[in-house]
Amino acid sequence: MKTQVAIIGGGPSGLLLSQLLYKRGIDSIVLERKTKDYVLSRIRAGVLEKGLMALLEEAGVADRMHAEGFPHDGTLISYGNEMFHVDFAKHTGTKVMVYGQTEITRDLYDAREAADGKIEFEVENVVIHGADTDKVHLTYAVHGEERRIDCDFVAGCDGFHGVSRQTIPLDVRREYEKVYPFGWLGVLSETPPVNDELIYANSERGFALCSMRNANLSRYYIQCSLSDSPDDWTDEAFWEELKRRIPADQAEKLVTGPTIEKSIAPLRSFVTEPMRWGRLFLCGDAAHIVPPTGAKGLNTAASDVHYLYHGLCEHYENGSDAGLDAYSEKALARVWKAERFSWWFSSLMHRYPDQTTFDHRMQVAELEFLRSNDAAQKAMAENYVGLPY
């Protein structure tokens, strides 16, 4: 087979890139290791920056997001029983959208299928050949059948454990990582959210987050030990601990019920440089990971897609490689700013094992400064709704 752009990874970033390229008449093939049903079963965050919303609109897949998503003007931050509002609309003139990543992926699959887009599932043993030459191609297997794709470029949207980053030689890439000494225990419950906006809570017992998927589906998280297992936490124990970590007036309103999904996610920050090697371009988790505190994971992947999509359009439409040549530098400049925000917000809201009483008081002082200072709130709002591409 031949194509212009081979995309490894059938998650939201790979599908979005494929759909955007299709809209400009650029051919692509998407390779996905799992089945479509498996990809759609993954539960992920869903706070969308303005840039991602604009990309979905450009891709022609934003109708359901606008009809079913929940625009949020701001967010709530609590410490102890104190709580204050950071108004995104006031400080930036922009809102964020709460719309599940699974729903974005579903919309993109529907669009690619409607356009007869080429997607291969249950792909194994992907190898990228000649990425640093002008004869790049992929080999892989589907149900034991060996296949090959010749292409102009490869987009590695295959996540942290995928083949794309590992294809870049060790003497070329440099990796930066911070592992956080705790995880997030998250549950999904068919209950109404405790508040119309997200609540980020700093408590003496650790961090908590009250989030939502829709009017009758809520997502809640609490900071936990990395040694914990989801089986260690009964539903009752989770709800009681969550109530201890959020303000009393919110805890009184909390509607509890059976959880339909429960998992623990470790937190880490990770960046690899460069994000390009020859004709191979890394996107999303293949190149960088952020802690979920600032809701930047999917949004930083989207900014990568933006830069790569425009670079590919320039190449095919204008014969210019300026955008592709600048891809890694531009993407990394924005990635590191997102990493900074996620690191700052994580440091502000979590309790660390080695924190002293002084450190705790500094957190409170920082929170009180954020509460009372418009400039600090504006800076946070600008980062949360998304820095410009």
Catalogue the active-site residues: 72, 200, 292, 296, 384
Q: Which residues contact 213 (CB under 8 A, 6 or more apart)?
A: 46, 98, 100, 188, 219
Other beta carbons within 10 Å of 350: 20
Backbone angle region of 55, left / alpha / beta, with phi > 0 → left and psi within -120 to 50 → alpha = alpha
DSSP single-letter state for residue 151: -
Write out the two tokens for 2: 């031949």
CA 84 distance to own-chain centroid = 25
Tell me which residue of 24, 26, 32 sits closest to 7, measured CA to CA. 32
Backbone angle region of 150, left / alpha / beta, with phi > 0 → left and psi within -120 to 50 → alpha = beta
Write out the two tokens for 92: 């930036």
Query: Using CA atoms, how far apart are residues 13 and 305, in angstroms rounded to an integer?
Result: 7
Tell me which residue of 9, 87, 96, 8 sits closest to 52, measured CA to CA. 96
- For residue 371, CA distances in Å to 92, 250, 364 come to 17, 19, 10
Query: Using CA atoms, how far apart are residues 84 and 252, in angstroms rounded to an integer?
Result: 18
